[in-house]
Amino acid sequence: MTALIWTGVLVLGGTGAVCRFLLDRAVSARHTRGFPFGTLAVNLSGAFLLGFLGGLALDRHTALLAGTAFVGSYTTFSTWMLETQRLGEERRIWPAVGNIVVSVALGLVAAWLGMSLGGRV
């Protein structure tokens, strides 16, 4: 890989992480009911975006930069799992199960919608 690609990964990865932080905080500040709405919003928008990028059929380097660097650092599987596990530890079983079901089901729908839209562009 060239230095330009590594620089792109660095910049887009950092940008994705900052965007995740900002969206998570903005959503979490408005919804304080103990459910991880911020992480849900990040992961659903990331699934849509990655689907959209996949639908565009980008070249190899652009897909790496946009999909892996930006969206990969934007979305957060580990936080989703930790928050779900904590809900379970707190004996909040229905919110924990809801977090899993809603995240997976709506994530698949978001990715499909993104691919559909990206394929039309």
Give the number of C-alpha atoms closer than 13 A to the C-alpha of residue 5, restricted to the C-beta side: 9
Which tens digits make up the pLDDT trace of 22-81?
999 999 999 878 899 999 999 999 999 999 999 998 998 898 899 999 999 999 999 999
Domain range summary for the chain, segments of one domain joined by +: 1-116
Is 72 assigned to a binding site? yes
pLDDT value at residue 1: 63
Is 34 assigned to a binding site? no
Look at residue 31 and give its three-state secondary structure. coil
